Amino acid sequence: MQPRDSAVAIWLAVCAACVLGMVSLGGYTRLSQSGLSIVEWKPILGVVPPVDERSWAAEFANYQETPEFLLRTVPMTLDEFQQIYWVEWAHRALARFTGLVFLVPLVIWTIRGRLRGVRLYRLLALFVLGLMQGAVGWWMVKSGLIRDARVSPYRLALHLNLALVLCGGLVWCAASEWDRRSCVKQYKSASLERLAYLLVLVLLGATETWGALMAGLHAGHIAPTFPRMNGAWIPPGLHIDGSAVFEDPLTVHFVHRALAALSFVAGIFAAGITLRRRHRLPRDTRWPTLCPSEGIACALLALLAVQVSLGIATVLSHVALSIALLHQATGALVLMCAVLSMREQGKTNATKS
């Protein structure tokens, strides 16, 4: 095995942190109703904000033609428009900055021959995914500029999922660059364990998808109680059929809670298998400290507990801004941790097989 490339690993970890920041800032953009304030998509020139009264007036005039502004019941001043404009501008600026942070070292290290073969192809695929993420982001915003005063929940879910896939891919590649050698303390992971972590990833992805649908439908306000939903385990008016699973706010809320509970149980099960393996080994072969897979399993359990607590607090607080943002950011961290756990299982299997 080749020695680790710590510089590349740190670079990819920084890129993953930038994407996590984009996810968090995107959540704030949505909750502060700032996402539709910029009605044009200029990938290059858009980095320059309005600089004088004339340009600000032009931007405000463009926004005044959108359904979101036309349906307002309270007049908006230019100062209020500037507040939401800067939030959306910052979100787009961070996306551009993240692209540069990824692209510049990629080009330099490729020219110097430091990145080649499968490693390079993986990173190029992530770059293309990042471009798709930007295009889908505008496609999402555009859906709120035509007829409705909100973006399409489906496009919002796709936008978030692409960001999470990108973040997971960056974390996977960063971990691979940091540890490209076999670990003598690792052992072959059982098929059940690998399947358990795969199930966790699938359930987390589904939970995040329905969470995005909840955000798009403002479904977090429809049942501000826990553990029951408005006094019932299965609330009246639930429709688990057809498009209602994706479009009815109450049903979407119920499905999101159910998937979150299943993800929590699956995470406990998968981490439990990892942590229990040590006690099945002969006492003289056990090591005194946690190996990487066990440490990540403990982190996954802790993050899952925090995420569930934040989810409960979000609905009980009627989607308070700070709590909802922490809930979304922690969800991304849980997914990243699950990706690392899945990678550890594949690595240990490859090490001993």
Task: Compute the distance between CA of residue 15 and CA of residue 174 in angstroms, rounded to an integer.
Answer: 10
- Asked if omega into 227 is within 30° of 0 (cis), the reply is yes
Mean pLDDT of 112-129: 94
Mean pLDDT of 315-323: 94
pLDDT at 39: 93
Q: What's the mean per-residue pLDDT of the chain? A: 88
Q: Are residues 174 and 266 in the same domain?
A: no
Q: Are residues 140 and 230 in the same domain?
A: no
Q: Are residues 204 and 219 in the same domain?
A: yes
Q: Are residues 334 and 207 in the same domain?
A: yes
Q: Are residues 51 and 21 in the same domain?
A: yes
Q: Are residues 89 and 12 in the same domain?
A: yes
Q: Are 176 and 32 in contact (CB under 8 A)?
A: no
Q: Are residues 165 and 249 in the same domain?
A: no
Residue 224 C-alpha from the chain's centroid = 24
Give phi and psi for 306, each to the nearest 5: -65, -40
Q: Are 31 and 320 in contact (CB under 8 A)?
A: no
- Residue among 182, 177, 124 nearest 4 (CA): 177
Q: Are residues 235 and 276 in the same domain?
A: yes
Q: Are 30 and 141 in contact (CB under 8 A)?
A: no
Domain boundary among 127, 156, 181: 181
Contacts of 243 by beta carbon, 8 Å cutoff, 6+ apart:
none
End-to-end CA distance of the chain: 15
How many domains does the structure of the chain reveal?
A: 2
Domain limits for position 75: 1-181
Q: Are residues 272 and 150 in the same domain?
A: no
Q: Are residues 93 and 159 in the same domain?
A: yes
Domain boundary among 181, 212, 244: 181
In the predicted structure, residue 295 carries a pLDDT above the cut 60: yes
pLDDT at 44: 87
Residue type, 36: L
At residue 192 the predicted structure's pLDDT band, cuts being 50, 70 and 90, is confident
Q: Are residues 101 and 167 in the same domain?
A: yes
Strand ranges (DSSP E) for 83-201?
none
Domain boundary among 148, 164, 181: 181
Mean pLDDT of 164-191: 74
pLDDT at 328: 94
pLDDT at 3: 60
In the predicted structure, residue 1 carries a pLDDT above the cut 70: no
Q: Are residues 151 and 223 in the same domain?
A: no
Mean pLDDT of 154-160: 95
Give phi and psi for 229, each to the nearest 5: -105, 105
